Amino acid sequence: MYDSSLPAIVVGLLVGFAVIYFVFWRCMRKTESPSSKRGSRLSPWPANSTLSFRLKKLLGESAVNGTFGSMAMADLQRKPELSADSLDGKGREYVSAPNMKNSCLTYPDTKYVKDLSNPIYRAISRKNGEINRMSKEEMIDTLAKLNLNTRGIGEILRARLKTYYKNLLMSEAGLETPSTQRNFDYLCVIDFEATCEEPTPIDYIQEIIEYPIVLVNTKTMKIEDSFNSFIKPLLHPTLSKFCKELTSITQVEVDQADTFPLVLNGVHRWMKSKALGTEHSFIIVTDGPWDMNMYLNVQCKLSQVPYPAYARQWINLCKTFSNFYKTKRMCLRNMLGALEMGFDGRPHRGIDDAINIANIAIQLMQDGCELEVNDRLTQ
């Protein structure tokens, strides 16, 4: 008599053998020598390499097994005379970061909580509906009558109008309105420039060669001061033609500059002269995650100086811009274009990029955006 369950049993056995084979195959792959898997997702470091040990000591185990590790390893192989000590340069004179008292890291949590049962929010919703039905010409006309900025694409005009009426209605109801000034006294806008080549070698590590800071007063919503310094690179002391053309930074400027530890000393000295972190709270502002997460993070490890505590969190202006104006994520030039603002200076020059990022931050505050921390160091 034919057993109808036999095909199902056979299929089950075949599936079981397939699973066992797959697990065995994965285990065998993981036990292969890392040195034979260079370029794969597995660790690219030779198992017993002296350079690997030096780099792990310099950058840390997690960095060695990640993106930065593979780039730094190749540079140390090309320049074996560069050790943790020599990369430090004159960094033994390192000046500590500003005191974090009254800084963004210890600032009291003043985030207000909405009482959505308040009828004012229904009024705001109705007003938003009216604005959603407006054409661009109608929004421009309304903004002009209110003496507000009429420049920008439709999404920006709409967000500007909505925020204006929202704050007006909340103020009339005696409710607190969002304010960047309540969170921070100053914005420190930073946009690093770094060594680069075109095309970029797969194991190339970039070093910071320009350290600009633009200081924005959140009360006056104006640029109050700035700091800028070139930095002498050690892994790539000779700038590529591509780097010089892109950034307009010359070989003479970096040759005559201090190494990173000394420049960071100057940064902290300047910040302390502005009473940042003591009398005034502040926060770092960038146009993305890379300046802190990649450039500053790796440079501090290469130069063997402590990563500044104040730079562990910051305002990512690209995120803020898209979230507030309800647009897609944009680069610096496109954000300026959406606001119908021109670029002030030369693109890819650190201090000029920082000034333009600061101008965008100021426009966001003028449009009623509350700038808040939205990005943090990930490693």
Question: Fold identical between 87-108+183-376 and 120-177?
Answer: no
Measured CA to CA in angstroms, residue 364 lies from 2, 159, 225, 226, 279 at distances of 77, 10, 19, 20, 25
From 268, 272, 292, 288, select the one nearest 280 (Cα to Cα): 272
Domain coordinates in residue numbering, the chain: 33-81, 87-108+183-376, 120-177
Q: Is 305 left (phi over 0), alpha (psi -120 to 50) or beta?
A: beta
The CATH T-level fold of domain 87-108+183-376 is Nucleotidyltransferase; domain 5 (3.30.420)
Mean pLDDT to the nearest integer, 338-364: 97
Band of residue 331 on the pLDDT scale cut at 50, 70, 90: very high
Annotated active-site positions, please? 193, 348
Report cis status (omega within 30 of 0) of the bond before 199. Answer: yes
pLDDT beyond 60 at 86? no
Question: How many C-beta neighbours within 10 Å does residue 203 have?
Answer: 16
pLDDT at 52: 41
pLDDT beyond 60 at 28? no
Band of residue 213 on the pLDDT scale cut at 50, 70, 90: very high
Mean pLDDT to the nearest integer, 23-51: 36
H helix count then E strand count, the chain: 17, 7
Question: How many C-beta neighbours within 10 Å does residue 137 have?
Answer: 8
Band of residue 73 on the pLDDT scale cut at 50, 70, 90: very low
Mean pLDDT to the nearest integer, 29-43: 31
Band of residue 174 on the pLDDT scale cut at 50, 70, 90: confident
Q: How far apart are CA 68 and CA 16, in angstroms?
A: 41
pLDDT beyond 80 at 100? no
pTM: 0.75
Q: Is 34 left (phi over 0), alpha (psi -120 to 50) or beta?
A: alpha
Taking only the tens place, the pLDDT of each residue in 109-155 is: 445 556 667 788 899 999 999 999 999 999 999 999 999 999 999 99
Taking only the tens place, the pLDDT of each residue in 267-306 is: 999 999 999 999 999 999 999 999 999 999 999 999 999 9
pLDDT at 178: 80
Taking only the tens place, the pLDDT of each residue in 7-18 is: 666 667 666 666
Between residues 32 and 16, the one the model is more confident about: 16
**321 contacts 369 by C-beta, under 8 angstroms:** no
DSSP three-state, residue 133: coil
The CATH T-level fold of domain 120-177 is 1.10.720
Give the chain's mean pLDDT: 81
Name residues whose C-beta falls within 8 Å of residue 325's C-beta, 6 or more positions apart in sequence: 155, 156, 159, 338
How far is residue 105 CA from its own chain's centroid?
17
Question: How many C-beta neighbours within 10 Å does residue 141 have?
Answer: 13
DSSP three-state, residue 211: strand
- Give the whole-number percent of the chain exceeding pLDDT 90: 63
Measured CA to CA in angstroms, residue 39 lies from 35, 59, 71, 202, 203 at distances of 10, 20, 12, 10, 10
pLDDT at 27: 47
